[in-house]
Amino acid sequence: AQSVTQPDIHITVSEGASLELRCNYSYGATPYLFWYVQSPGQGLQLLLKYFSGDTLVQGIKGFEAEFKRSQSSFNLRKPSVHWSDAAEYFCATSGTYKYIFGTGTRLKVLA
Amino acid sequence: EAGVAQSPRYKIIEKRQSVAFWCNPISGHATLYWYQQILGQGPKLLIQFQNNGVVDDSQLPKDRFSAERLKGVDSTLKIQPAKLEDSAVYLCASSSFPSGLPYEQYFGPGTRLTVT
């Protein structure tokens, strides 16, 4: 069965520091993978997606993610975090039609 | 392109009352989803429509929740009667599925329900 695990519930980084949010998936075939961001009181906004091809995917707001089949991972990265990046981040995978979301990682940014 | 619209944005009701949420998907999107997101958790799919037919409602508490999508466009989600544990954000999303795989889901801003 499909599943997504986000091991870190909370992460705190200083503004300007680099960021990596972890996501591990379980799926038999090549998964479709997504990262969404949710700011307080808002819906989910798609940051980036992986379907096939180049394993390093660029997204909006300076985010990127790397698909590593050998590690069943799709970690989200940003080289320099801004205070406005404070939000909750969700990794998701989809099969034929259904999304499975991780439990989310809440990012706090220190000034 | 207009996004997914939801109303109301916030609702406070007492337990045992009823409540309804409305969603208008992106124009042309055949598939519509309702999710429940409890504080501190990821979204959980309640029901998925393709046009005006139900694809998946396996996690919908059918004794109190109902949803419809008339004419394959707008949708309403109703809770009757509400319980304290229904306090959550209700998210609506739409996608172009089954037009081409893979697909993306586009989310509305959500309705925050508080049951007192």
Contact state of B107 with A44 under an 8 Å Cβ cutoff: yes
Report the pLDDT value the prediction gives residue B48, as an integer from 0 to 100: 92
**Facing B42 at nearest CB: one of A41, A49, A102:** A102
CB distance B6 to B106 below 8 Å = no
**Facing A97 at nearest CB: one of B41, B55, B91:** B55
pLDDT at B33 over 80: yes
The mean pLDDT value of chain B amounts to: 92
Contact state of A46 with B104 under an 8 Å Cβ cutoff: yes
pLDDT at B6 over 80: yes
Instruction: Please tell me if residue B8 touches chain A, with a CB cutoff of 8 Å.
Output: no
pLDDT single digits (tens) A18-75: 999 999 998 767 788 999 999 987 889 999 999 888 889 999 999 999 999 999 999 9
Contact state of B104 with A49 under an 8 Å Cβ cutoff: yes
Report the pLDDT value the prediction gives residue B100, as an integer from 0 to 100: 57
Residues from chain B contacting residue A99 (CB–CB below 8 Å): 33, 43, 45, 105
Q: How many CB pairs under 8 A join A and B?
A: 55
Task: Tell me how far apart the alpha carbons of residues B3 and A100 are, in angstroms, rounded to a whole number.
Answer: 22
For residue A47, what is the enclosing H or E element? strand A44-50
Instruction: Enumerate the β-bridge partners of residue A32.
Output: A94
Report the pLDDT value the prediction gives residue B20, as an integer from 0 to 100: 98
Specify the pairing of strand A99-101 against strand B111-115. unpaired
**Facing A42 at nearest CB: one of B33, B41, B109:** B109
Tell me which chain B residue has its CA closest to the CA of residue A44: B107
Report the pLDDT value the prediction gives residue A14, as an integer from 0 to 100: 97
Report the pLDDT value the prediction gives residue A52, as an integer from 0 to 100: 82
pLDDT at A95 over 70: no
More confident residue, B21 or B97: B21
Contact state of B43 with A44 under an 8 Å Cβ cutoff: yes
Task: Tell me how far apart the alpha carbons of residues A103 and B48 are, in angstroms, rounded to a whole number.
Answer: 20
pLDDT at B103 over 80: no
* Look-up of token digits 């009181």: A41
Contact state of A46 with B110 under an 8 Å Cβ cutoff: no
Report the pLDDT value the prediction gives residue A76, as an integer from 0 to 100: 98
Report the pLDDT value the prediction gives residue A1, as an integer from 0 to 100: 73
pLDDT at B107 over 80: yes
Q: Mean pLDDT across the stretch B83-100?
A: 88
